[in-house]
Amino acid sequence: MQLDLNKLKKRSSYPFETIAVALSFSPRCLPVLAEAKRLSTLLNASLILIHIGSKTSDKEKMLDDLMDEVGIDDNKSRIIWMEGEPVETILKLCKLHIVDLLIIGALVKENFVKFYIGSIARKISRKAKCSVLLLTNPTEHPLDYKKFVINGIDNPKTIHTISTAFYLAKHLQVKDINIVNETEIIGLDAAPTFENVDAETKKSQKSFAANEEKVLQSIIEKNITADLSITIKNIKGKPGYAISKFAKDNKADLLIINSPDVQLSFVDRIFTHDIEYILADLPCNLLIIHSRV
């Protein structure tokens, strides 16, 4: 099967028509599989099960038993066994099969309070050309999501992220949504970096921001219903760290953010990129939206 890149270019970030789940046969394999099955059912999506490693009779038997226990229909799912370097192989398979959402289970630290992701999941989160869902506490009997926290930062990707979040909220019947805009106060040591921005550039940035805000308001107005609570919050703090803390303090079920920018600015190279703060200590389930813009 040959990859048709034209199917990926400008492809909408939603709906999630094809969901893939990366399986490692760890003790958390069953709950991760259960969560993937639930989402694929609610979103009416096809499900692909991916295992990077050797295919053995023992593994096949184990996976068959897990699928039976979760209730995954063989006719509505595919299993892919492939050996190779995990990150590049998973990324290639997701492109090849036009995956819209990749699900990965996060790891839990010994105190059962903090969640983190290993190096493989971290690299996939940075490089994937599809949206990625990191599950912190999957269960064999998945609980309903009740509260979303969505990034509202000034970025062209944000509109796509928020639109995708509303699509997901509708199908998961989530009623409580917080759109959070982080404002960072740059320290004096970084001030010279911004002194050379000319007046025309500043004017263009303000115009772009005003247009983005109008589009955002339009999206919100289209999605407001009597039983839906949408709150826009402005918080100050280090981007990534601030929204992560907000999600944790407000007991969010899902934090939804933009995918990291491929081309990092000079400032991004100096300071830790915002997504790294979140990946270092996941506050809850994390959905990284890849908008393909």
Q: Which of 92, 125, 142 lies at the terminal end of a domain, its last residue?
A: 142
- CA distances to 144, 232, 254 from 178, in Å: 17, 6, 11
Provide the pLDDT confidence category of residue 6 given band limits of 50, 70 and 90. low
Residue 287, domain member (yes or no): no
- Mean of the pLDDT values across residues 5-18? 79
Least confident of 141-150, 161-170, 178-187: 178-187
Q: What is the pLDDT of residues 168-199, one digit of tens each?
A: 999 999 999 999 988 875 553 443 333 444 55
Q: Which of 88, 108, 142 lies at the terminal end of a domain, its last residue?
A: 142
pLDDT at 7 > cutoff 80: no
Q: Which residue, among 90, 194, 72, 184, has the nearest Cα to 132 in the 3D structure?
A: 90
**Predicted local distance difference test score (pLDDT) of residue 220:** 77
Instruction: Print the domain residue range for 37.
Output: 1-142
Residue 286, domain member (yes or no): no
Q: What is the pLDDT of residues 230-245, one digit of tens each?
A: 998 889 888 899 999 9
Q: What CATH number does residue 155 fall under?
A: 3.40.50.620
172 contacts 145 by C-beta, under 8 angstroms: yes
Rg (Cα) of the chain, in Å, rounded? 20
Q: Which of 97, 125, 142 lies at the terminal end of a domain, its last residue?
A: 142
Is residue 226 domain-shared with residue 109, that is, in the same domain? Answer: no
26 contacts 62 by C-beta, under 8 angstroms: no
> Cα–Cα distance between 209 and 195 in angstroms, integer?
20
Is residue 1 domain-shared with residue 137, that is, in the same domain? Answer: yes
